[in-house]
Structure 1
Amino acid sequence: MVVVTSRLDGSYLKCFEKMAKTQLLILDDFGLTDLEKNAQIDLLKIIEDHHERVATIIASQLPVRSWYEIIGEATIADAILDRLVHTSHRIELKGESMRKKL
């Protein structure tokens, strides 16, 4: 969402520069909607900038095998997932939502 807003207000390059300096990238609720073409390319750039340099956490309710469909373009999905999956530690949670218990 930050990237979309920065595209509108003209601060797109500054947004990417700022994100590249972060020590931890967190993508929360990944996969709630399919990615549009610009978002696919933006995500690839973000992942490339952070790959093997800083930590990345991705939280999603969907299994990784579904991410290809969410990303949309097969070539871009391959590039993104190749950088993420092979160097990742996956934690899959099971059970009811903690929000239900509260």
Structure 2
Amino acid sequence: GMRVLYANASKLMGALKIAKNKGTIETELKKLEKTQLLILDDLFLVPLDAKERAHLTEIIEDRHGRKSIIVTSQLPELDWYDAIGDTTVADAILDRIVHTAHRITLTGESVRKLKAFKGR
């Protein structure tokens, strides 16, 4: 019964840039806003450009305190400022994500690496 959307963060940001150019950005952002849980996978794996920063800020702001978001990232939190690329925007985004987050830090070998090893 819960509306969940999984998205690779880089692909989502690219799709939102295309939607902006096509004039359908508001429709796409409304779809994201309607989901009860948004899962952003591999966030900050690729640094954000100015348009992506603006889109991510809007997504985070729309969800803050109202809807849930799961963020996965292989980049340590200390490096998120550099990946966002603008300290003011980074403060706004991270203030809404980090300070209210439940963190789960995974340790050990990658599951992909373990599966590849077992398959040999």
Q: Looking at CA atoms only, which structure, 1 or 2, has the larger radius of gyration?
A: 2
Q: Which aligned segments of 4 or more residues in structure 1 are displaced greater than 6 angstroms?
A: none
Query: Secondary structure at the residue paired with 1:26?
Result: strand
Q: Paired residue for 2:42?
A: 29
Q: Which residue of 2 aligns with 1:18?
A: 31
The aligned amino acid for 1:43 is L
* Residue 65, structure 1, aligned to residue 78, structure 2: yes
Distance 2:65 2:77 in 1: 19
Distance 1:44 1:36 in 2: 12
Please, which runs of 5 or more residues in structure 1 have no aligned partner?
none
% identity of equivalent residues: 48
User: Shift of residue 100 of structure 1?
Assistant: 0.9
Cα deviation, residue 8, structure 1: 2.8
TM-score when normalising by structure 1: 0.95
1:91 to 95, 104, 107: 104
Aligned length: 102
Q: Which amino acid aligns with 1:55?
A: S
| Ranges in structure 2 where 5+ consecutive residues have no aligned partner | 1-13, 116-120
What value does the CA root-mean-square deviation take over the aligned residues? 0.9
Task: Give 1:45's aligned residue.
Answer: 58
